[in-house]
A and B are shown apart, each in its own frame.
Chain A
Amino acid sequence: MASESQVRQFNTPFHLLGKFVLNFLRTVGDLSLFTARMMRWMMLRLPKRTVLLQSFYQIGVLSVPVVVLTGAFIGLVLAVQTYDQLHLMRLDTQLGAVINLSLVRELGPVLAATMLAGRVGSAMAAEIGTMRVTEQIDALRALGADPIQYLVVPRFLGCCLLIPLLSALADLTGVLSGWFISCHIFEINEFHYWLHSRQTVSAYDVYCGLLKSMFFGASIAIVSCHRGFHCSAGAQGVGRAATQAFVLSFGVILVLDFVLAILMNDFYYVIWPSSMGGP
């Protein structure tokens, strides 16, 4: 018990900071090992088709309504918020450029990923957490299945492959709802609306958005499954795992968004050095 009293003495802010840093590093290390194990399983042997399809259905098909709703409302809100400003400057027809660019580059992927972190991520953490608490993960191992291969790989693949598709869907519904409100409610000239959109939004912007969402998907899957596997006992433990899965995934999404935005801008200048003014 001597060690315990020693621990209590070390309670200065510096020690707390040290503890925080160590905890952070431990979590990052643990996550990396977890990811490495999952990657290894992905190379070795994929789960059966039925297992994959089931989780693809859960992640992809069942998320369509949420994503459509999100996309549609981003389009509407962007149009309503931006119209007044542009109208004052007599730049109404630029509305298409503003809405569509912000949709495909930022808001579509980020907000779709956020919704999916809430819908898919916390569900995954709660499901895996419950399985852990009720010994179902031990049962998997007892029956010769690896929990990482059986539970994590399908969810990771589902998120990686389907979240970009869902983001594309969010982009599409956002573009349509933005167009509808701009051209049919605010009565902007349709030809110029689309002309300005075409001049501003390049295929590169769309690809960037979708590529980003692939990273978002991967991080949602890894963070949420990891939280599920480290779920503590009881209903409270499962609830906490679900909440943490969402909060942490959201944090990672925001940080990744920032980092990827910088990298993608740099990449743009590398490919098209003449366009130094901005993509």
Chain B
Amino acid sequence: MGIFGSRKPANKPRDAPPAAGPPLRPSSPSGAIAPPVGPRSAMRPPGRASSGPTMIEMANIVQRFGNQLVLRDISFAVEEGETLVIIGESGCGKSVTLKLLMALFDPTAGRILWRGRPVAAMSERQRAKERLSYGFLFQGAALFDSMCVSENVAFGLRQNTDLSEAKIREIVRDRLKEVGLREAVCDRKPADLSGGMKKRVALARALALEPELMFYDEPTTGLDPVMSDVINELILRTKARGRVTSIVVTHDMRTVERVADRVIMLYPASLLRPNEPQIVFEGTARELAHSPDPRVAQFVHGNAGERIEELSLA
């Protein structure tokens, strides 16, 4: 705790100055898989004290599933009020990154820090409590299909607060209105909803507890262009409302253009040469469009290029 002593944990940094400053990427010298290392202050570039406080941070994260290496030495931090978009092709570990940040499981190596405090040192109970200030929009919406829409939205409130039923109903109605759903959907089961509606109900559910940080896991995947834009707009509105910090995982370039303050591109670990960093791009959306890196340009413009050769390998 000592090295983070100067920072107040948890509450109230909402009216801090807007996050601007240079992107923070603690560079590990070789880019090779390094064991999680020492004091974070050593990794912080000078002059960072002026920008917004760090909301969440990943330091030298390595993630393996069996023999498969998914993340190798990933480090980045997200400041308060910032919208970070993580892009990359399917299977490069974007969703895993989000779930690690939410501490839904533990990394093979490395550290996750919530407002500067290492998650590994927290008990499951503490984590559960902290997690309440984070909202998560799951890729497939992940609505509880045994419950109706209003029960889904009210779930977090019923589980964690002692609010009266009337108050809960009011919040549910407000949240559904915010995502553009009428009260008539309240009694419907998730199975009866369209993809776009499911996503919006899931967003209303995640926002019911008024999170300070929102995770979006491929929010527009599987939706039509119009509904995708509705979701993008909702992400922006959520951010505007009470300076919510957002981390968006996507491979939809429209979303990147509309919502991103900063973009990180991950590349599949299996296609990297040894010692190459897995984060192949970091910068603004505009910089992304003009990146000289062929791998980035390929993704941005949607060209298979020489990757088409993978087809013949099969």
Contacts and interface: CB of A to CB of B under 8 A. Distances in A.
A276 interface: no
Interface stretch (A11-19, A22-30, A141-149, A153-161): A141-149
B138 interface: yes
B131 A139 contact: no
Interface string B268-309: 000000000000000000000000000000000000000000
A90 B11 CA distance: 85
A140 B147 CA distance: 13
B78 to A, nearest CB: 17
Contacts of B143: 136, 139
Contacts of A4: 67
Interface stretch (B26-34, B41-49, B115-123, B153-161): B153-161
B128 A134 contact: no
Interface in B127-155: 128-129, 131-132, 134-136, 138-140, 142-145, 155
Contact of A138 (B99, B128, B156, B205): B99
B139 A144 contact: no
A144 B142 contact: no
B240 interface: no
A139 B138 contact: yes
A206 B135 CA distance: 52
A134 B132 CA distance: 21
Contacts of A146: 124, 128
Given A138-B138, A139-B138, A139-B142, A144 B159 contact: yes
A144 B160 contact: yes
Contact of A145 (B104, B124, B138, B159): B159
A134 B142 contact: yes
B302 to A, nearest CB: 27
A4 B67 CA distance: 10
Residue among B131, B135, B142, B209 with the most chain A CB within 10 A? B142
Contact of A135 (B129, B139, B159): B139
B28 to A, nearest CB: 25
A142 B145 contact: no
Nearest to A1: B67
Interface string B79-109: 0000000000000000000010010100000
Contacts of B209: 143-144
Nearest to B157: A143
Interface residues of B, number: 27
Contacts of B159: 143-145
Nearest to B205: A143
Contacts of B136: 138-139, 142
Nearest to B132: A144
A103 B269 CA distance: 62
Nearest to B129: A144
A138 B131 contact: no
A48 B158 CA distance: 10
A135 B135 CA distance: 14
A176 to B, nearest CB: 36
Contacts of A136: 142-145
Given A136-B145, A138-B99, A138-B104, A144 B131 contact: yes
A73 B128 CA distance: 50
Contacts of A143: 155-156, 159-160, 205, 209
Interface string B48-86: 000000000000000000010000000000000000000
A144 B104 contact: no
A168 to B, nearest CB: 29
A136 B136 CA distance: 11
Interface string B209-251: 1000000000000000000000000000000000000000000
Nearest to B95: A135
Contact of B131 (A48, A131, A135, A142): A142
A189 B239 CA distance: 83
Residue among A4, A135, A140, A142 with the most chain B CB within 10 A? A142
Contacts of A131: 144
Nearest to B217: A135
A39 B286 CA distance: 54
A142 B140 contact: no
Contact of B135 (A48, A142, A145): A142
Contacts of B134: 142
B144 A144 contact: no
Given A138-B99, A143-B155, A146-B128, 13 more contacts: A134-B142, A134-B145, A135-B142, A139-B142, A141-B128, A141-B131, A142-B135, A142-B206, A143-B156, A144-B128, A144-B159, A145-B159, A146-B124
Interface of B: 67, 99, 102, 104, 124, 128-129, 131-132, 134-136, 138-140, 142-145, 155-156, 158-160, 205-206, 209
Interface of A: 4, 48, 131, 134-136, 138-146
23 contacts: A4-B67, A48-B158, A135-B138, A135-B139, A135-B142, A136-B142, A136-B143, A138-B99, A138-B104, A138-B142, A139-B136, A139-B142, A139-B143, A139-B144, A141-B131, A142-B136, A143-B155, A143-B156, A144-B156, A144-B160, A145-B155, A146-B124, A146-B128
Q: Which 5 A-B pairs have the closest CB atoms?
A: A135-B142, A139-B142, A142-B136, A143-B156, A144-B160
